[in-house]
Structure 1
């Protein structure tokens, strides 16, 4: 439940046109960029929010918040965000917060939502006035991230890396156990689980002639 200051409540009840949106983007190096959809610059929390450079309001409401992720599009016209910084990854995992404030009294505000920039893509060849697409993740999106190894039929090593163990290999590997064994003779370093039962395991039943010796039936696609 949001704590709405009395000033904001009064403005909403009176239908006053003194409210606007502010977005603060804080990079991991501590640099903060701030934008507003107001028609004049606003100083908010000690940071100057540049006018008319805010994110698209409807998309921002959909993408930010506690659940899921989405894309927020808009135009950045003040030139502070450059293609070089975007390509260098300076905005990856940056925090983003959206506020509604009273532009006549910026100390009256409500935090509407917060999230993380998964990445931001510059569109257009110039830093001045370049458009961008920001992929924003809500708090719940972190629960969907893969941490550690995954149990799959295929190898999760990169051909030629330390876990693979091959030095200067040539060719392309499809990450299957058979390819690793027969094409590269590297089965002992295979980093997948080729005998992991697949969905077809659920439909198996004893059949005449089957060898019931406990050996793998090579289920799934890893073999």
Structure 2
């Protein structure tokens, strides 16, 4: 739930609010930078936010039902703009009354996922904190091989078996490429048929079939 100051709510409801956006970017080293789409500098959350002509909030997707929220911002890149300087940065987006910047409401918080620079235009892609839950950590257990054909984990030489591809099945790895020792899957993991299996009435139940 957003914490919106009562004075700001009253101004918005009365139509007296003078609203703009402000971005607070915290670099990996802790340095905080501020930007705003207003036409003059504003101090927001203790950071002076510089006016960035041409910058604005792009599309956004809220975090609903555990889905990782995303947002974008777009604008012109100034001279000497270095995308690498923002690697690992976190971003807080505020809605601010520019006539009294202390009146502000948080709109979005997350991290910088990708920054694209093309033809003097910057597109910043942001992702919410729930995005970390979508990332695979470690390996997953599955019957198919999870190596890429001919990569270091696969072990098949790059010039071997020209014109052939691999469907990542155990039998293909063994029979077609003789590469079973490097198979990166788990072909004997029980499948859905095992999970759904139930005892058959009148049958022999000594575990011998498993």
TM-score with structure 2 length normalisation? Answer: 0.70
In the TM superposition, what whole-angstrom CA distance separates every residue of 1:128-176 from its partner, at most 9, and x where no partner exists?
xx142x3322222222211111122222235443x55x38553476233
Report SS of the residue matched to 2:103: strand
Partner of 1:125: 119
Kindly indicate whether the alpha-carbon contact (under 8 Å) linking 1:41 and 1:51 is maintained by their aligned counterparts in 2: no
- The structural deviation recorded for 1:202 is 7.8
Q: Is the 8 A contact 1:64 1:136 kept in 2?
A: no
Matched residue, 2:143: 153
Question: How many residues get paired?
Answer: 196
- Structure 2 residue aligned with 1:185: 178
| Map of 1:11 onto structure 2 | 11
- Against the structure 1 CA distance between its residues 195 and 154, is the aligned structure 2 distance closer, same or farther, given a 3 Å change threshold? same
Once the 2 structures are TM-superposed, how far is the Cα of residue 101 of structure 1 from its aligned partner?
Answer: 1.7
Match of residue 135 from structure 1: 125
- Does residue 110 in structure 1 map to residue 105 in structure 2? yes
Q: Is 1:170 aligned to residue 165 of structure 2?
A: no
Deviations, residues 24-82 of structure 1 (Å, cap 9, x unaligned) = 2323243444322212232332233323344325x24x357984333524223434644
Answer yes or no: is the 8 Å Cα contact 1:69–1:135 preserved in 2: no
Tell me: CA distance 1:167–1:16, structure 2 relative to 1, closer, same or farther (3 Å): same
Match of 2:205 in 1: none
- What do residues 70-98 of structure 1 show as CA deviations (whole Å, max 9, x unaligned)? 3524223434644xx2xx5x545431211
For residue 12 of structure 2, give the secondary structure of its aligned residue in structure 1. Answer: helix
Is the 1:35–1:52 contact (alpha carbons within 8 Å) kept by the matching residues of 2?
Answer: no
Task: Measure the CA separation in 1 of the matches of 2:104 and 2:33.
Answer: 18
Q: Which runs of 5+ in 2 are unaligned?
A: 201-207
What is the RMSD of the two structures over their aligned residues, measured on CA atoms?
A: 3.6
Task: Output the CA distance in 2 between the equivalents of 1:9 and 1:176.
Answer: 60
The two structures have a TM-score, normalised by structure 1, of: 0.67
- 2:45 maps to 1:55: no
Which sections of structure 1, spanning at least 5 residues, go unmatched?
Answer: 207-212, 216-223
CA shift in 2, pair 1:184/1:28, >3 Å: farther
Using a 3 Å threshold, how does the CA distance of structure 1 residues 41 and 193 change in structure 2: closer, same or farther? same
CA contact (8 A) 2:69 2:131 kept: yes
Correspondences of 1:187-202 after superposition (within 5 Å): 187-198=180-191
Shift of the 76–30 alpha-carbon distance from structure 1 to 2, 3 Å rule, reads farther
